[in-house]
């Protein structure tokens, strides 16, 4: 892309909006929320300074990943209705500017997370590397990119625990697995909704490359796995990560709702059912994390 073709606008409002779009602010904020919940689950008393560092560092790392992703996929984004108005394909930000922003966010994010502890910075850096250097290049090549992308996508929930404990064990590992399995019904529902749009860019996000019963069945099965791992802490086998029986029942109810919409997609095989599942999956993860957090707060008091 020729930088001279970029529509120059130096107003703070324009730059802020472009920056938020480039870093996918809503997604980044949801990721930061996951990290904060993971941190609060690990501590008996929290430190606002550490929470602030985790929030800033977490946003920088996610923002850098999203920005690098949009640089790499700028030609693909221009072909898709969903992404053609992003800052780079719409000529609001040049590739060079986006690259500088990405590098600065990466460096700031690593330094800020390192101030918490080295392991937090390490996992943050691993997340950027996998998302940018593995997941993004694989998207046009194979639906297995969703599996690869699930690794950086699962790091935020566990990152908060690592920030609190400076260690990796069964507790952050369990948080990682919860968000790892959850991503498959979530992103395959999105892939189902936007299948034609993705095909314009030569991308297939669905495991069988099409909207068929096999894909729908895999969505159902991964929904089941998500429920199982989400209630596993009630067994007492996950160290300091605990879940009361009452909260486990709530989590099961939330999971059954998501499973219902997964089965609904399997039965109806239409975009409307996929949209409902996508929305429910977002609500599920948020409510699950809040349930875990409220359960921990109850133990505090």
Residue percentage of the chain with pLDDT more than 70: 96
**How much is the pLDDT for 28?**
93
Name the class of domain 7-167: mainly alpha
**How much is the pLDDT for 255?**
97
Q: What is the pLDDT of residues 211-264, one digit of tens each?
A: 999 999 999 999 999 999 999 999 999 999 999 999 999 999 999 999 999 999
Confidence of residue 280 (pLDDT cuts 50, 70, 90): very high
Q: Does residue 11 surpass a pLDDT of 80?
A: no
Annotated domain spans of the chain: 7-167, 169-301
Residue percentage of the chain with pLDDT more than 90: 82
**How much is the pLDDT for 300?**
57
Q: Does residue 7 surpass a pLDDT of 80?
A: no
**How much is the pLDDT for 204?**
87
Closest CA to 33 of 297, 290, 294, 296: 290
**How much is the pLDDT for 202?**
86
Secondary structure in 3-state letters for the chain: CCHHHCCCCCCHHHHHHHHHHHCCHHHHHHHHHHHHHHHHHHCCCCCHHHHHHHHHHHHHHHHHHHHHHHHHCHHHHHHCCCCCCCCCCCCCCCHHHHHHHHHHHHHHHHHHHHHHCHHHHHHHHHHHHHHHHHHHHHCCCCCCHHHHHHHHHHHHHHHHHHHHHCCCCHHHHHHHHHHHHHHHHHHHHHHHHCHHHHHHCCCCCCCCCCCCHHHHHHHHHHHHHHHHHHHHHHHCCCCCCCCCHHHHHHHHHHHHHHHHHHHHHHHHCCHHHHHHHHHHHHHHHHHHHHHHHHHHHHHHC
**How much is the pLDDT for 16?**
86
Which pTM value belongs to this model?
Answer: 0.90
Average per-residue pLDDT for the chain:
92
């Amino acid at each position: 892309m020729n930088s001279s073709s970029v529509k120059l606008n130096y107003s703070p409002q324009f730059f802020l909006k472009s920056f938020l779009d480039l870093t996918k602010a809503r997604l980044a904020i949801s990721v930061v929320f996951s990290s904060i919940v993971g941190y609060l689950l690990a501590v008996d008393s929290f430190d606002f300074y550490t929470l602030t560092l985790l929030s800033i560092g977490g946003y920088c790392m996610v923002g850098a990943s999203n920005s690098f992703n949009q640089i790499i996929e700028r030609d693909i984004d221009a072909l898709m209705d969903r992404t053609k108005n992003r800052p780079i394909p719409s000529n609001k930000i040049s590739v060079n500017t986006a690259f500088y922003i990405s590098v600065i966010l990466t460096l700031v994010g690593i330094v800020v997370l390192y101030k918490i502890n080295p392991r937090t910075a390490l996992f943050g850096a691993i997340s950027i590397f996998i998302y940018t250097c593995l997941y993004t290049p694989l998207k046009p090549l194979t639906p297995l990119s969703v599996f690869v992308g699930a690794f950086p996508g699962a790091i935020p929930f566990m990152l908060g625990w690592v920030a609190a404990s400076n260690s990796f064990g069964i507790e952050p590992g369990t948080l990682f697995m919860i968000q790892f399995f959850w991503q498959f019904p979530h992103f395959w529902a999105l892939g189902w909704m936007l299948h034609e749009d993705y095909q314009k860019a030569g991308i297939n996000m669905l495991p069988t490359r099409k909207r068929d019963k096999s894909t729908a069945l895999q969505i159902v099965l991964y929904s089941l796995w998500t429920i199982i791992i989400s209630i596993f802490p009630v067994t007492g086998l996950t160290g300091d990560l605990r879940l009361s029986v009452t909260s486990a029942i709530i989590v099961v109810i939330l999971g059954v709702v998501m499973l219902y919409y997964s089965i609904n997609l399997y039965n109806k095989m239409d975009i409307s059912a996929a949209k409902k599942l996508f929305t429910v999956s977002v609500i599920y993860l948020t409510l699950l994390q809040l349930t875990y957090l409220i359960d921990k707060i109850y133990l505090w008091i």
